[in-house]
Amino acid sequence: MKVINLTTKFNIKIVSVVFLVILVITIYNDWLLLQAENKQNLRYLTSITEFLAEKSPPNLFSETYIQATALNQSNQLTIYSLNQKLQPIIDEVCMPYKRIQFGYYSKNCKNVVAIGSKFDESLLIDMSLNKANPIHDVTTTSLIEEEFSSLWHGEKSITYCIPIKENGVIVAQAFASVNQSKENPMAKNNGHLFNHICYAFILCYCFS
């Protein structure tokens, strides 16, 4: 019986070690896939933002703001006015990936004025009296990491933005943002793998 118990313990240890090796290799492969996904996301952000910056109608932001000021128009109405002209450009971009959204931000309005790929009207509500969005102060093409992004209602994100200039003055930002908080399949699988590793260690400890 003692020999059988020793053999059983030895077999469990061997199986546990093999299991751990397989898990380490699997996690490493998932890490490589995650890095590839991050690079792909950055390509999406870059290409979308460049497209939006190029498609921005000449002098739209400055002329709309001048007209709004002359008419004593509210900031909210100015946001909607810009949205009517910019949203069709947003709708030209086909992005089935739900973790990425993109649009235009007006410096004069201090607000998002167009958003896609899923239209979120709550982002068009005048927030100019609140703390300025980090996009507001961007003066060069930038990649911004936020723990609590207003674009994603408080979730973690990475946003790529390009300033839009009219008559030599930065009047807006074209941006694209990826949500870093939404759970993806690889993150979920890695959580399960971590649990299995802990279980394997417990087996090794109990039968050692």
Look at residues 112, 121, 115 and name the one whose alpha carbon lies nearest to residue 61. Answer: 112
The pLDDT, as a whole number, for residue 108 is 94
Return the pLDDT at 56: 95
Phi, psi of 170, deg, nearest 5: -75, 120
What string of H, E and C letters represents the secondary structure of the chain?
Answer: CHHHHHHHHHHHHHHHHHHHHHHHHHHHHHHHHHHHHHHHHHHHHHHHHHHHHHHCCCCHHHHHHHHHHHCCCCHHHHHHHHHHHHHHHHCCCCCCCCCEEEEEEECCCCEEEEEECCCCHHHHCCCCCCCCCHHHHCCCCEEEEEEEEHHHCCEEEEEEEEEEEECCEEEEEEEEEEECCCCCHHHHHHHHHHHHHHHHHHHHHHCC
pLDDT at 132: 72
pLDDT at 39: 78
* pLDDT the model gives residue 117: 85
pLDDT tens-digit profile, the chain (208 residues): 445 565 666 666 676 666 666 767 766 666 556 566 677 788 999 999 999 999 999 999 999 999 999 999 999 999 999 999 999 999 999 887 788 999 999 999 999 999 998 888 999 999 887 777 888 889 999 999 999 888 898 899 999 999 999 999 999 999 999 998 865 555 555 555 556 555 555 555 555 5
Q: What is the pTM of this model?
A: 0.75
Q: How far is the C-alpha of 178 from the C-alpha of 62, rounded, in Å?
A: 28
Predicted confidence at residue 41, as pLDDT, reads 83
- pLDDT recorded at residue 150: 87
